[in-house]
Amino acid sequence: MNFENRIQKYNSILTTNDRKIIRHLAANKETVVSKTITELSDEIHVSPASITRFCKKLGFDSFQQMKYSIEQSAIDTIKTDKTFDIIYNYYHSILTSTQQFISEEQTTRIVDLILSAGKILFCGIGNSGLISNEFNSRIQRMGIPSESITDAHGMLMKSALLNENDIIICFSNSGMTKSVVSAAKLAKENKATTIAITNYAETPLTKLADEVVLITSYKYIEDEKFINTQLPGLFLLDLLTYKLLKNEKLMENRQKTLKAISEHG
């Protein structure tokens, strides 16, 4: 897992000192590899022990391993002034990073849960709501009973009516969106299966979830002009959609609904 993904994954346990180290490392990727731990601690004004603890928190076996990861991150950053190339590289970086979070085994588990569910409720606010609506639209065309709610009160009402045969799929980049967390809590109380799709591992939302799918945050791209909160979520949706449509009945249903729209829409 690359350096940026480790920071994202363990974000909730990082201290003020850790974030000070991160800021320095991010600003000096090209030179970090040549530094000793003592030289780096002097530059950042923290103790060598603080840097060692930081490495362990991110799951690195050693300071050297962390330096190698940062070096690779610097190498992968392609410098160009062409807008097409810049955005292409950002997309490539986001998809590559998201791929490190998502496993074949987990997507298979989620597909199996969807196939066995009585009903699926999708929840999300803002940009997460757009992903929620998109996934709902896709699986409705496969004949799977589902609904997408992007209204705070609607989430609470619908999640209160779920049961142990149902699934709630919650989209929240922060994992702290109040209405989404409240909906997940109500669903859990009703014994519905809860799936969280988010950027961070330790949040109020993930604590309620039976399955947590981490996707990359665009915020780790150091360019304030680039804003894309949906690409990692759409990548996950494409993976799940592709797997769902391996089911012959779902593919048949999709073809029927597309034909109906085409002929009568």
DSSP letter at 200 equals -
Sequence-ordered alpha helix ranges (H) in 198-230: none
Identify the residue whose tokens are 């009903």.
Answer: 119
pLDDT at 60: 92
Strand order of the β-sheet with 167-171 is: 146-149, 120-123, 167-171, 193-198, 211-214
Burial 233-265 (b: 16+ CB within 10 A, else e): bbbbbebbbebbeeeeebeebbeeeeeeeeeee
- Local confidence band at 74 (pLDDT 50, 70, 90 cut-offs): low
In order of 108, 239, 243, the CA distances from 246 in angstroms are 12, 11, 5
Average confidence (pLDDT) over 110-116: 97
Instruction: Answer whether residue 265 shows pLDDT above 70.
Output: no
- Local confidence band at 221 (pLDDT 50, 70, 90 cut-offs): confident
The three-state (H, E, C) secondary structure of the chain, written as one string: CCHHHHHHHCHHHCCHHHHHHHHHHHHCHHHHCCCCHHHHHHHHCCCHHHHHHHHHHCCCCCHHHHHHHHHHHHHHCCCCCCHHHHHHHHHHHHHHHHHHHCCHHHHHHHHHHHHHCCCEEEECCCHHHHHHHHHHHHHHCCCCCEEEECCHHHHHHHHHCCCCCCEEEEECCCCCCHHHHHHHHHHHHCCCEEEEEECCCCCCCHHHCCEEEECCCHHHCCCCCCCCCCHHHHHHHHHHHHHHCCCHHHHHHHHHHHHHHHHHC
Instruction: Answer whether residue 33 shows pLDDT above 90.
Output: no
Work out the mean pLDDT of the chain and round it to a whole number. Answer: 91
pLDDT, tens digit, for every residue of 177-207?
Answer: 999 999 999 999 999 999 999 998 889 999 9
pLDDT at 27: 85
| Structural domains of the chain ordered from first start | 3-77 (1.10.10.10), 99-264 (3.40.50.10490)
List all residues 6 or more positions away from 83 whose beta carbon is below 8 Å from its beta carbon. Answer: none
Q: Is the pTM of this model over 0.85?
A: no
* Alpha carbons 44 and 25: distance in angstroms, whole number: 9
Q: Which residue has the higher pLDDT, 29 or 50?
A: 50
